Structure 1
Amino acid sequence: MKKNSLILSVLLVGITACSTVTIKPEGQNKLVNKPTYQDSKPFYLWGLSGEHRVDVLKVCNKNEPLQMQSQQTFSDGVLALITLGIYAPHTVKVWCPKEES
């Protein structure tokens, strides 16, 4: 019984594990402050189906973004687990340079 519980626990952690892909200029430290733009995008069948684009130039008012990130958060993973991977959202974040007044 303990072995089954351990296997189930490892499986659940693996399925709901977070993943992050960060794109930033070389040599720049990873930004951790609040992003300028954040949105959840729907994907299906464990993320294999669905394609979304974010126009970062529009988000950053034609300025080059400082950092972009696609992330499967814990809550995204839980939703994918509950729906058995049929619905698997990802969170998109964009950091823009501060506008000068």
Structure 2
Amino acid sequence: MHLKVLGLFLTTTLLAGCATQTFTINGEGGEVPTYKKSDHFFVNGIGQEKITNAAEICGGAENVIKVETQYSFLNGFLGFITYGIYTPRDVKVYCKAS
């Protein structure tokens, strides 16, 4: 029984992908995020939306370098152990140094 559960967990972990979407806006750089948070979604985020205003965070659209959203292994693991009820996503905003 325990071997079946372990096999199911490993198979699910291997099939579940981590994903990162990066939107580069104004050039290169920004290795350290200016703003970082985790958005909380439920039931895989169906019908839910979170808005992060990068221009407001960076003090103007001209100061935004890039915006990144990430579904990490930890996010996937939390979704797995809650049977998809809780599915967080991470967001990072990179601004030009002032």
Aligned structure 1 segments of 4 or more residues deviating by more than 2 angstroms: 4-8, 12-15
Question: Where does the alignment leave 5 or more consecutive residues of structure 2 unmatched?
Answer: none
Identity %: 29
Indicate the residue corresponding to 1:9 in structure 2: 10
More helix by share: 2
More strand by share: 2
Residues 12 and 34 from structure 1, CA distance in 2 versus in 1: closer, same or farther, beyond 3 angstroms?
Answer: same
Shift of 1:44: 1.5
Q: 1:21-32 residue pairs with structure 2 within 5 A?
A: 21-25=21-25, 28=27
Residues 39 and 77 from structure 1, CA distance in 2 versus in 1: closer, same or farther, beyond 3 angstroms?
Answer: same
Shift of 1:14: 2.3
Residues 32 and 76 from structure 1, CA distance in 2 versus in 1: closer, same or farther, beyond 3 angstroms?
Answer: farther
Question: Where does the alignment leave 5 or more consecutive residues of structure 1 unmatched?
Answer: none
Q: Which amino acid aligns with 2:10?
A: S
Indicate the residue corresponding to 1:43 in structure 2: 41
Q: 1:1-101 residue pairs with structure 2 within 5 A?
A: 6=7, 8-15=9-16, 17-25=17-25, 28=27, 33-64=31-62, 65-99=64-98
On the 8 A contact 2:54/2:93 being kept in 1, the answer is yes
Instruction: Tell me the TM-score normalized by structure 1.
Output: 0.77
Which range is displaced more, 45-54 or 90-99?
A: 45-54
CA RMSD of aligned residues (A): 2.5
Aligned residues: 95
C-alpha separation between the residues in 2 aligned to 1:7 and 1:44? 23
C-alpha separation between the residues in 2 aligned to 1:47 and 1:19? 15
On the 8 A contact 2:30/2:65 being kept in 1, the answer is no
